[in-house]
Amino acid sequence: MTADANKPTDADKTNDAQQARQDELARVRYQAAVGTAIVAGTFCLLVGITLAVAHFQRTTVGLDESEELNNLRNALLKVSDPEDRKVIREDIRRRDLELRQGFFGRRAFTKTGGYLLLAGLVVFIAGAGLAAACRKRLPTPLRADQRKPAIGAQAARWAVTVIAVTLVAGGVFVVAYYGGAPDGEAPDGGQAVAVKAPPGREEIRKHWPRFRGPDGSGHSAYTNIPTTWNGKTGENILWKTPVPLPGENSPVVWGKRVFLSGATEQKREVYCFSAADGKLLWQKPVSTPASRMTDPPEILADTGFACPTCATDGRFVCAIFANADIACFDVDGRERWVRNLGAFKNSYGYASSLNIYRSTLLVLVDQGTPSKPLSYLLALDLMTGKTAWRTERPVSSSWATPILAHTAKREEFITVGCPWVIAYNPADGKELWRAKVLDGDVAPSPVYHSGTAFTVNTGAQLTAIPTGGSGDITKTGITWTAEDGLPDIVSPVTDGKVVLLVTTDGLLTCYAAADGKLLWEHEIDAIFMSSPGLVGDKFYLMDEKGVMRIFITAGGYKEVAKAELGEKSHSSPAFLDGRLYLHGKKHLFCIGKKRTSLTGPD
Amino acid sequence: MPILVALFLMPAASALGAERFALPKFKSGYELPPLEVPPAASDALEYLDVAALAAALALASYLALRARSRRALWVLMAASLVYFGFYRGGCICSIGAIQNVVLALLDNGYAIPFTAVAFFVIPLAVTLLFGRTFCAAVCPLGALQDIVAVRPVRVPAWLDHGLGLLAYVYLGAAVLFAATGAAFLICEYDPFVAIFRLVPFTRPNAMMEAFGGSMGMLILGAGFVLVGLFIARPYCRWLCPYGAMLRLLSRASKWHVTITPDECVHCTLCEDSCPLGAIQKPTTDLPRPDRLIDRRRLALLLILVPLLLAGGGCFGRYLGEPFSRVHFTVQQAERVRLEETGQITGTDDISDAFYKTQRPREELYAEAGAIRGRFDIGGTLLGVWVGLVVAVKLIHLSVYRTRTDYEPDRATCLSCGRCFKYCPVERKRLKTLKGEPTTP
Ligand code: SF4
C-alpha cells in the first residue's frame, strides 16, 4: 500500500463535500423543525392556560345563574307602585343585556381560543413530527447478547390481575357512592317519612273532611251530638278561639285537628286548631306571585274572600280563596304547594268548596255567562299541585259545591251549574250523565241519598234524579220535580224519607223523598244562610244570628231544642263524636259535653 | 328505503316551517328575525358516507397488504380524518354504531338508521378478511391519534396487556347502557368529537350545540392528544370498544399484513419498530419454559374460570342498581318519589316533565322498577363478561406458543405499515421495484 493510496481522490473530496452539505442541510432542517415545534408548543401552552384560566375564573354568569337578576325579578313581583316597577324593569333589562353580552362574549372568546389552539397544535405536531423524522435512524442488527428477552408472561398476568382488582375496587366505589338509598329512603340514610296512602272510605266517615261532611250532604256519623248550648253563658261550649281573619267557610276536622281559612282583600291564611283545647296550632299565609300582581277580585261582602271550605284527608289540608290562590299544606303546616288558577270570572266571589278524592284535589271552577261559559272541573295532584286532569263544563258561573256519591255501582262526582247537573267519574273527569234541570245563579249544593240525587235552585225546580245513568237523562231519567219553596243559597237536606228545603227568608218546605209529595211548610222569622245538618232524625238549622233550631220532620215541623251561639254565623255545622264545631263571625266554637274524649290521629 | 326516509322527513320539514304560537308584536318596532330552518340532512349524504367507508376500507386493505406503502396509508388516513372526522363531525362512526345495533336488537321501537348498520358491519367483515385495516387508515379517531404520535415511547408489554382489558370492560358497559336505553356512553364520552367539531364545516355551531360551550370534552380530547404525542394511539389500544371486537376478529382474519414481504431473515431490525408493541419475537432462540409449571398454572386457571364468572356475575348484580340511575326514567322516578315523600320541596325540570304527562306516579315507579330489573340482569351479565375476559386473558397469557419468525400480533397490529421499512427484505423489494441495484 503506497502513501498515495491513502490520499483522498477528487471524487472522494466531492463526495465528502456533498455529504457535508447534506449533513448541514439535515442539521438546519432539524433545527428549524425543533424551533417550530418549540414556538408552536409554547403558543399552545399559553393559549391553553389562558383558556383554562378564563374558564375557571369567569366572572360572567349565565342568565339563569344570576342572583342579582333573580332578586330584581322577585322585587318586581312585590312592588306595586308603577314608578318603582318601571325603574326595576329598566334595571332588569339593563342587567339582562349585560349578562347576554357577557355570555356571548365569553363564547366568542372560547371559540377563538379553540381555533388558535387547534392551529397551534397542527403546527406543533408538524414540527415535532419532522424533527422526529430527521432524527430517525434505522437500527443496526443486534448481537445475540444484546437481544431483549421476550415479553414476561408472568408480569403480564400480574398486570391483568392488578387491573381486574382495580376494576373491582372501582365497582365497590360506585356501589358505595351511587348505590343504596332506594325509593322512600332519605338521602341521609334514614327512613323517609313516606306519605301515607290516602284514607279509605270507612276512615273518612269518622271525620269531617270537607264542606257538609264526608258525603257532602250534611249527615252526621254520630248521634251523640249536643242539642243545648249557649255561647253567651258558656253552657256546653268546650272552647272558643278567635279566628284571625274573616271567612264564611265551615270547619273541617280530622282527628285532633280543626282547619279553617280566612282572608281579607290583602291577606289569605290557613289555620289549624287543636280539637282538644282550641289552641291555634299553626297559621300559614297563602300568597302567589300572580295574586300579588293582580287586583283583588270584586266580591259580595256576604261571600267574602274565604268562602270555600277547606278539604283534608288527614295527610293534607287544602284551601282556595276568592282571588284564585289555592294551597296545600301537610297537617303539620308545611306548605306542600301553592298556585293561582287565574282570576275567576264570576260575580259575587268564588264559593265552591274543595274535595279531596284519593290523591287528587277536585276543584270546581264555574265561571262565565250562559252565552260564554268558561267553566271547568279541575283535578290537581295532591302532592304537587300539578294539573292531573281538567274537564271543560258547559255551564255558567255557579257557587255550589259538588258532592261525591257512592252509588251502588260506582262513584259519581255530582256537580250543579246553570243549566246542567253533571255527574263525572272522579278518577278521570269523564262525564257519566247530565240533566238540564237548573237555571239562574246556582248556589245550593246537591244532596244524595240511596241512589237519588236531589238538586234545587230558585227559578228552576227541585229535582230527584236517580244516579247511575248515562248520557243526557233530562227527558228520560228524572223521578220527580217540585216547584214550591225553592232556596237560593241554603242547600237542601234529606234523610232518605223527606227532602227539606230552606229559603233565605225562613220558609221551610218538606217533600216526600220517594215521590216529591209536599208534606208540610213552616215559616220561621229569621234569615238563613248556612246549610242544615242531620243527626239521626234531628235536623240542625242555624240562622244568620247564630240561633240553632233542632227539629224533627215527622208529621210537621217539631222543634226539639234551640241553642244560641251568641255570634253571627254563616257556617254549616261539623259533627264529630259528641261534638259540634261552628265557625262564627269571629270565633271558632267547639260544642260538646265535657266528658267526650278525642279519638283519631294527632 | 329512500322513499321511507323521504316520507319520514316530509312532515318534519313542513312542521318546522311555521311558528307554533303567534309571535308577539313589539311596540319598539323591533322585528323578530325570520325563523331559520336548517335544511334536513340529505339521505344522499348518508349513502356517500357508506360508499366512502367501503372505498376507504378497500383502499386501506390494498395499501397495507399489497402495496405495503406506509406513506399512502398516511395520506388515506389524513383524508379519512378530514372527511369522517372534521367534515362529518365524528358522527356517524363505527364505534358508536355498536350502541345503535344493540338498541335495535333489543328495542323493537327503535328504527336503526341504515348507515349505522353499514358502519357497524362493513369494518367487521373487512377485518375478518384483511385484519384491522379499518384502524390503520379509516377510523378518524385512530387517524388523529396516529398523526399526533410524533415521539412514541414503548409501553412495557405487561402494562399493555393489563390495560388492554379496559376496552372489553368498556365494550360491555356500553352494550349494557345502550341495551337498557339508558345512555350512549361511547358517544357521550367520545374524547375526540369535541376536537372534530371545532372546525365548523357542516355544522357552524355544532360544538356549542353539542357541549353547550362546555370545555370538559375539549379538555378530555386535548388530554388524549397530549398523551398521544408520546404513547401511540392510547384510546385505540386500551379503550376503544369497537377495537376490542376487531381484535377478536382480526385473530381469525384470512389475510393479514406481514412485516416482511418474503421470508423473515431474523435480522432483529424490526424488533423495536412498532410503536404499539405489536411485534412478536420468535421463540426459537429462547429456552422453553418448564412445561410442568405451565400445565399446573393452566389447570389452576381453568378451575378458576367458573369462579371468576360467578364472582363477576354476583358483583355485577350489585352494580346494576347504581348503574340504573343513569337511566332518565329511574332518575325521574327517584326525584318524583323524593318530592312525594316530602324529602325535597319544590319540583325541578325532571319532575315537571313527568307531571306534564299527567300519568299516575305508580306507573312511573313501575316503569323505573322494570328498568332496575333490566339493570340487575344486565349488571350480572356485565360482571360475567368481565370475569370471562379476565379469565381468557390469563389463560391466553399462560399458553406457550412456538414462533419461528418476527410476526405482527394479529390482534393488536393495526396494519399501520410502520415496520415495513425496517425490514431489509422489504428494502430490497422496493429497490428491485425501482430498478436500483440491490447489492452495495
Ligand atoms: S403494521 Fe407493523 S408497525 Fe404497524 S401496528 Fe402492525 S406490527 Fe406494528
> What is the per-residue pLDDT across B343-365, written as a single tens digit (0 to 9) for each?
887 778 888 888 777 677 888 99
Q: Are the Cβ atoms of A384 and B355 closer than 8 angstroms?
A: yes
Residues A300 and A394 in one domain: yes
CA distance A542 to A591: 14
Work out the mean pLDDT of chain A and round it to a whole number: 88
Q: What is the pLDDT along chain B (440 residues), one digit of tens a residue?
A: 344 444 334 334 444 445 666 666 777 778 777 777 777 667 788 889 999 999 999 999 999 999 999 999 999 999 999 999 988 888 788 999 999 999 999 988 888 989 999 999 999 999 999 999 999 999 999 999 999 998 899 899 999 999 999 999 999 999 999 999 999 999 888 888 888 876 554 444 444 444 444 567 777 888 898 899 999 999 999 999 999 999 999 999 999 999 999 999 888 889 889 999 999 988 877 777 788 888 999 999 999 999 999 999 999 999 999 999 999 999 999 998 888 887 887 778 888 888 777 677 888 999 999 999 999 999 999 999 999 999 999 999 998 888 889 999 999 999 999 999 999 999 888 888 887 776 54
Same domain, A165 and A239: no
A59 and A173 share one domain: yes
Of B246, B274, B412, best ligand 1 pocket probe by most atoms within 8 Å of the beta carbon: B274
**Residue A349's pLDDT is what?**
87
pLDDT along chain A (602 residues), means of 10: 60 82 89 94 91 74 74 83 88 89 82 84 89 79 67 86 95 87 43 68 94 94 93 92 94 95 92 94 88 77 89 95 92 88 87 93 93 92 87 93 93 94 94 94 94 93 94 92 94 95 95 94 94 95 95 93 93 93 94 70 56
| A548/A551 Cα distance (integer angstroms) | 10
**Residue A268, Cβ density class (10 Å: 0-12 exposed, 13-18 middle, ≥19 buried):** buried
Chain A residues touching residue B342 (CB < 8 angstroms): 192-193, 195, 330, 334, 336
Residues of chain A with C-beta less than 8 angstroms from the C-beta of B345: 334-335
Burial A113-132 (b: 16+ CB within 10 A, else e): bbebbbebbebbbbbbbbbb
Ligand 1 centroid, distance to B409 Cα (angstroms): 9
| Alpha carbons A226 and A223: distance in angstroms, whole number | 9
Q: Do both A157 and A206 map to the same domain?
A: no
The DSSP result for A198-253, as a single string, is: PP-HHHHHTSB-STTSTTSS-B-S-S---S--BTTTTBTEEEEEE-SS---PPPEE
Determine the pLDDT at residue B5. 41
φ, ψ of residue B391 to 5 degrees: the values are: -60, -50
Of the candidates B315, B334, B342, the beta carbon closest to that of A330 is on: B342
The answer to whether the CB atoms of A153 and B397 lie below 8 A apart is yes
Q: Which of B208, B322, B343 sits opposite A187 (nearest CB)?
A: B343
In this complex, is the C-beta atom of A115 within 8 Å of any C-beta atom belonging to chain B?
A: yes
Domain end: A145, A178, A211, which one?
A178
Question: With contacts defined as CB-CB under 8 Å, which chain B residues touch A361?
Answer: none
Range of the domain at A68: 3-178
- How far apart CA A34 and CA A46 sit, in angstroms, is 18
- Smallest CA–CA distance, residue A195 to chain B, in Å, is 5
8 Å CB contact of B267 and A141? yes
Give the dihedral of Cα atoms B6, B12, B18, B19; nearest 10 deg: -170
Task: Report which ligand 1 atom has the smallest distance to the Cα of B259.
Answer: 2
Which grid coordinates are listed for B319?
A: 352494580
Helices (H), B17-91: 43-61, 70-80
Question: What Rg value do the Cα atoms of chain B yield, rounded?
Answer: 26
Q: Which residue of A has its CA nearest to B282?
A: A150
Which residues of B are less than 8 Å from A194 in CB distance? Answer: 341
Which of A178, A210, A239 lies at the terminal end of a domain, its last residue?
Answer: A178
Of A114, A143, A178, the last residue of a domain is A178
State residue B362's pLDDT score: 82
d(CA A435, CA A439): 12
Strand runs labelled E in B233-386:
279-280
**Based on the structure, what is the number of domains in chain A?**
2
pLDDT of the residue at A602: 57
Ligand 1 contact, B257 CB (< 6 A): yes
Give the CATH number of the domain where residue A464 resides. 2.130.10.10
Considering the entire predicted model, what is its pTM?
0.67
Q: Are residues A396 and A491 in the same domain?
A: yes
Domain ranges, ordered by start, for chain B: 46-260, 291-398
Note whether A216 and A124 are same-domain residues: no
